[in-house]
Amino acid sequence: MDNVVIGVLLFALVVVAVYFVRSKFSKKEDEIPLAKEDPGSPPMRDGPIGVGGDMGELL
């Protein structure tokens, strides 16, 4: 009986830990691409000026 209770408590602890870690990582994944896009897009526009200019003319 004691082993069953310990097993259930450990299982519940693992479920809570996985949920907690997933919620933390999902928030970080949502924030990191936004942070990468904002500093990333101006260098991409400033770097290959010819490619950006050609694409702008085509569009």
* Domain enclosing residue 26, as ranges: 2-58
For the chain, the average pLDDT equals: 68
pLDDT at residue 13 in the model: 96
For residue 5, is pLDDT > 90? Answer: yes
| Whole-angstrom distance, CA of residue 26 vs CA of residue 30 | 6
Model confidence over 10-31: pLDDT tens digits?
Answer: 999 999 999 988 887 766 555 5
pLDDT at residue 50 in the model: 52
Model confidence over 38-59: pLDDT tens digits?
Answer: 554 554 444 455 555 555 555 5
- How many separate domains does the chain show? 1
pLDDT at residue 14 in the model: 96
Tokens of 48: 């290959």
